[in-house]
Structure 1
């Protein structure tokens, strides 16, 4: 789909559907199409009709009934770069057509899910095969991880604030607080295997869960091998071990539904055991005990406080590092409008003067301990040593969105020889450059060192540590995200400089734009907040950056 937007939703749907069915759709195009299908029944019907037509046409082509059609002849003349594969009819199908089939399968599944859920509130949700939704189509979430303490996931790590999709999940240890989109709150404790079928239904295969169900979500179900627990308000706990289910009604009333048995009701204070092979529930002498969401929050806060204290000790060691020129951190005094430079001794770096930014909480959750630079014109002004041998910059940043073409992290005034620029582009790539002189026989274009696209929408509002290292002597530039190197690139010989020059500069903006005067180019303020910002006259190693992240992160 072209960058120019369609003038109506119908036209946009037509373009997006065509791109998807032709195999030309990008991930963003598919996401837009998914949104259109979710929001409008008319669009879903139109899309299904379009898929049906395409399928009929393909069947006709395979049968040979359209063999002389100009449509077929044109298609056969089209040589696609993706290569070709053979189908059973003997015709050759491009990789793009196979990709289109994948997109169509996933989107049809999405349409069926939405349509079936609209028809019947107790209809089971359909879930595409796990292999179909790895990277091509964003997974639709059904729950938010509010907080967690000492949780070990039997899968890629899920951070607090992340959205969980439908499907199976397994935690090996720890305690976690989830909020389903229906408003139901779950506390999961210890090793637990569970499947989120929908915001109103969770299957508990193993482990212990406490559920708080608001009025708006009455009818929420926890399904186990021994039966279905139906909430009628407002709180209960469940433990599952194989075919045995124990539960305690903490407040309100629940129902127990078993195959071919009438529903049983239980009220506050009752604790029972239900066995898969036994008809009659047994009374439990010891209730099922699970931590409350408040207890989880306290445990998380205690861990954060412990981590913060440990970072305070580790920071003192870093402040003794001869390479460290500046460590900027909010003073905590709302009247001072400065960032203190914690580096003492021979450092020539100034304190930072804050302009326009609003105070906010830092990554440890302390109000008034960081600055948000979203307001137009916001920045922090610094004066740095004019000459540095090598350069490393590290900052803790919370980005709301990449709303500008360029979003500043650290930009020197102007763009003279030896001056570094560090920023994030709207496309999610980190941009780093050091202005070098033009050398005869080389391009006038400046060398820029880009990271891969590191930005994901789910990172919005989260604290992340970014770092860049410029090793002039070794001829290398490296980008880092949360302690891990995401790219390493050699500095071309023509792009080398004798020294790095900083002087006057801005954190989160650009004080002296060059080359263009339009607002899209000159507006560089960061839509987000910055906590600590460290600048080194030296190239940190990958192990240095990893250690710095491990010591300074809030952790999970």
Structure 2
């Protein structure tokens, strides 16, 4: 059996896409071939490593929330480029126990082969880690430039390091906090935080009574209030109460109650009364004004870049979901090579808010939701790119772009069951459900990213027979696919696929439940494009930089794409 066939069956196994016949074929292959077993163990170790890292991260964050001190967690596994490696063949002597050892190894592999499908992916276990949501942001710049927090992003226990700007955070129990940079805030639980430095204003509704803000010098416990805390670096801390009642606790005295319009300053552990000053803390209205001004600048830059993408010589499909929608259930294709009069048709899905206030997106929330459109022809190379907000990580793939057919060259683009980005091409004979060749990145979508907008892309270059996956402007994986046909989509769907119950054979799926054929996306898309050329890394990074919603961008970033 060829290595190519072995790799295909192993990949389909870990994606849980084997047919009954393929499962029997792979089982026999593992029993007969030491090399096949070695390949199986290598893939199994990698998948287990991802789960192990996720579980360790989950436990570490819980421990941090309880104030425990742990050793540093090893770095997450980093994506690496595929490369050929010589196999070292070690000659074995021929003792009588050789057959027994081989049989034992084969039995171990078969046991794992049977057991692995029952293991839950680690991301299901950590999916409930969120304690708050970042709901608003105005010119926020984070200390870690590689970690751009976004509106709508779920927040897990841990530190937020805000260099400048302002954000609003809503805790799961209902407390709302406006944090002004520079500031350092550690989220502890769904109803408490630790302020390392900076300034915050908290509004605490009745269901969140007991919300607390701790510092190294004192703690503020809510009894139904609106209050502000200031902890300047090198200055004296202050607590201001605007409405209701709080309890001020420190090590030097018993708890002191502070009522409406009372404020204190703490100097050398001594508490002094000062006038309460609302104007020293950012209000909801002022944050909203700042956010609107910030959004206008980003929208202007994105509009210019979006027009450049529509006018790219290789642009086949470009949906930006902008314009006067009215009652229309069609989305215009703005690509200059678009087929006249062939827009995307909305089925079930609805318009929703996109990356910024005033930017439109399409939301996919039900199994029937999808966009359907046509793209005739075959293409030597192809780039797929989209801005996506994932709202759930079910134990199954989620479609981004999938064709109706099962022909040679058909393309599938999706998020895998463990949050990886997948790109597939049908390289077999037309109608053969086992003819798919897939490439997957490592896990990219994790539970703490639910609700955040990300830019994903896959570019297939026929000159090198290589597909490269990108995440937020950065290449994360690449692999040669062995494609010897033109890529095609013909009639296809965005956010879903045309597979119906009882048709699982078309994609080689062995149903595990009545809903196993579901591939619908659970989330939103507010821009998607298909090009008949492989965009390079600089172009994809530019699309990300001009479209990101976590910090201001300017019109100077806008440039023309190169052929």
> Which residue of 2 is the match for residue 352 of structure 1?
344
Q: Output the CA distance in 2 between the equivalents of 1:145 and 1:533.
A: 25
Structure 1 residues 360 and 204, CA gap change in structure 2 (3 angstroms) = closer
Q: Output the CA distance in 1 between the equivalents of 2:241 and 2:218.
A: 16
Q: Output the CA distance in 1 between the equivalents of 2:397 and 2:215.
A: 51
Q: Output the CA distance in 1 between the equivalents of 2:547 and 2:56.
A: 45
Residues 263 and 275, structure 2, Cα contact 8 Å, conserved in 1:
yes
Q: Output the CA distance in 2 between the equivalents of 1:309 and 1:290.
A: 30
Q: Output the CA distance in 2 between the equivalents of 1:399 and 1:310.
A: 24
| CA displacement at 1:549 relative to structure 2 | 1.5
> Which residue of 1 is the match for residue 547 of structure 2?
552
In the alignment, structure 1 residue 447 sits paired with structure 2 residue 437? yes
Equivalent of 1:510 in 494, 497, 504: 497
Question: Secondary structure at 2:351's aligned position in 1?
Answer: strand
Q: Output the CA distance in 1 between the equivalents of 2:364 and 2:171.
A: 32
The 5 A counterparts of 1:2-401 are 125-129=66-70, 131=72, 138=126, 140-155=129-144, 156-241=147-232, 242=234, 244-277=236-269, 279=270, 281-284=272-275, 289-330=280-321, 332-344=324-336, 350-366=342-358, 369-401=360-392
Equivalent of 2:523 in 517, 520, 528: 528
Q: Output the CA distance in 2 between the equivalents of 1:370 and 1:109.
A: 33
Structure 1 residues 373 and 243, CA gap change in structure 2 (3 angstroms) = closer
Equivalent of 1:476 in 452, 466, 484: 466
| CA displacement at 1:172 relative to structure 2 | 2.3
| CA displacement at 1:218 relative to structure 2 | 3.9
Q: Output the CA distance in 2 between the equivalents of 1:106 and 1:338.
A: 42
What is the number of equivalent residue pairs in this alignment?
441
Structure 1 residues 478 and 253, CA gap change in structure 2 (3 angstroms) = same
| CA displacement at 1:523 relative to structure 2 | 3.6
> Structure 1 residues 234-243 or 410-419, which shifts more?
234-243
| CA displacement at 1:260 relative to structure 2 | 4.4
Q: Output the CA distance in 2 between the equivalents of 1:140 and 1:502.
A: 38
Structure 1 residues 507 and 178, CA gap change in structure 2 (3 angstroms) = closer
Residues 402 and 425, structure 1, Cα contact 8 Å, conserved in 2:
no
Structure 1 residues 134 and 406, CA gap change in structure 2 (3 angstroms) = closer
Q: Output the CA distance in 2 between the equivalents of 1:178 and 1:471.
A: 43
Question: Secondary structure at 1:281's aligned position in 2?
Answer: strand
TM-score of the two chains, using structure 2 as the length reference: 0.67
Structure 1 residues 288 and 192, CA gap change in structure 2 (3 angstroms) = farther
Question: Secondary structure at 2:380's aligned position in 1?
Answer: coil
Structure 1 residues 473 and 292, CA gap change in structure 2 (3 angstroms) = same
Structure 1 residues 471 and 197, CA gap change in structure 2 (3 angstroms) = closer
Structure 1, residues 496-550: CA drift from partner, whole Å, max 9, x if none? 22x3233322223333662558665644333333322211111111111111122
> Which residue of 2 is the match for residue 58 of structure 1?
none
Residues 470 and 477, structure 1, Cα contact 8 Å, conserved in 2:
yes
Residues 390 and 472, structure 1, Cα contact 8 Å, conserved in 2:
yes
Q: Which has the higher contact order (CA 8 A, sep 6+)?
A: 2
| CA displacement at 1:212 relative to structure 2 | 1.9
Structure 1, residues 66-107: CA drift from partner, whole Å, max 9, x if none? xxxxxxxxxxxxxxx99xxxxxxxxxxxxx9xx99x989997
> Which residue of 2 is the match for residue 541 of structure 1?
536
Structure 1 residues 333 and 183, CA gap change in structure 2 (3 angstroms) = closer
- Which consecutive residues of structure 2, in runs of 5 or more, have no partner in the other structure? 1-40, 43-47, 77-121, 552-563
Question: Secondary structure at 1:176's aligned position in 2?
Answer: strand
Structure 1, residues 30-56: CA drift from partner, whole Å, max 9, x if none? xxxxxxxxxxxxxxxxxxxxxxxxxxx
| CA displacement at 1:125 relative to structure 2 | 4.0
Q: Output the CA distance in 1 between the equivalents of 2:141 and 2:448.
A: 21
- Which consecutive residues of structure 1, in runs of 5 or more, have no partner in the other structure? 1-80, 83-95, 114-123, 439-443
> Which residue of 2 is the match for residue 501 of structure 1?
488
Residues 325 and 535, structure 1, Cα contact 8 Å, conserved in 2:
yes
Q: Output the CA distance in 2 between the equivalents of 1:146 and 1:235.
A: 18
| CA displacement at 1:251 relative to structure 2 | 1.9
Structure 1 residues 265 and 342, CA gap change in structure 2 (3 angstroms) = same
> Which residue of 2 is the match for residue 456 of structure 1?
446
Residues 109 and 126, structure 1, Cα contact 8 Å, conserved in 2:
no
TM-score of the two chains, using structure 1 as the length reference: 0.68
Question: Secondary structure at 1:341's aligned position in 2?
Answer: coil
> Which residue of 2 is the match for residue 432 of structure 1?
423
Structure 1 residues 404 and 231, CA gap change in structure 2 (3 angstroms) = closer
Greater C-alpha radius of gyration? 1
Residues 355 and 453, structure 2, Cα contact 8 Å, conserved in 1:
yes
Structure 1 residues 342 and 179, CA gap change in structure 2 (3 angstroms) = same
Question: Secondary structure at 2:72's aligned position in 1?
Answer: helix
> Structure 1 residues 149-158 or 406-415, which shifts more?
149-158
> Structure 1 residues 473-482 or 143-152, which shifts more?
143-152
